[in-house]
Amino acid sequence: MAITLKEETILNEWSTIVDHGAEYVLPVLAGIQERLREAVMPGVCTWAIEEVQSSGLFSKVRRELIVVRLEEFKDYRMYIGVRSYGVHLDCCRFLTVEPNVVKKWASEKLAGSGQALSAPKNILIQQDLRAWATVVHHTVLDSVSDAIAKLGKDPSLMQRGSKGFLEIW
């Protein structure tokens, strides 16, 4: 069964197109997973390639994405997509917060936001969440940079920042 990626759960995102990089889909995917293994992040960080669908009512698009989870932050997920787009390499990453139905309901009643009870409770826990998100983000950036370099292009020209509420440093 496919996971539904709902736009309203996305906290921040990043994407890029690598010109004439379509042949690097598998090496980039392998590089991301190898870097995740090498990161040896505290807590139980797991990932798997899973089928993900859009939340559209009439037009559900499905793709296989790497879904990264950290046991400490059960409500947070990182979705990583790498695919060929014609002759190009299309790469994206989404950080989401997805509380279960009960937690979302309680959060809306108590705080007026379905995500409030999922938020880190203090600055040090926020630091842990930010560190996890940053490490995962950099596994994607570094793997895409490798592909760009193999194409004989300058990886330093790649846009590295993300867009959203929880900025990656």
In a domain, 163, yes or no: no
* Count of CB atoms situated within 10 Å of the CB of 55: 12
In a domain, 165, yes or no: no
In a domain, 169, yes or no: no
pLDDT digits (tens, 9 = 90+) for 95-113: 999 878 888 778 777 877 7
In a domain, 167, yes or no: no
In a domain, 54, yes or no: yes
Coil, helix or strand for 128? helix
In a domain, 7, yes or no: yes
pLDDT digits (tens, 9 = 90+) for 110-135: 877 778 777 878 899 899 999 999 99
Nearest to 93 by CA among 149, 159, 2: 159
Question: Is pLDDT at 6 greater than 50 in this prediction?
Answer: yes
Q: How far apart are CA 108 and CA 37, in angstroms?
A: 36
Q: What pTM value is reported for the model?
A: 0.89
pLDDT digits (tens, 9 = 90+) for 16-63: 999 999 999 999 999 999 999 999 999 899 999 999 998 877 777 899
Structurally, how many domains does the chain consist of? Answer: 1
| Domain that residue 69 falls in | 3-157
The phi, psi pair for 120, rounded to 5°, reads -55, 140
CA distances from 44 to 20, 35, 138, 144, 151 (A): 36, 15, 18, 25, 35
In a domain, 42, yes or no: yes
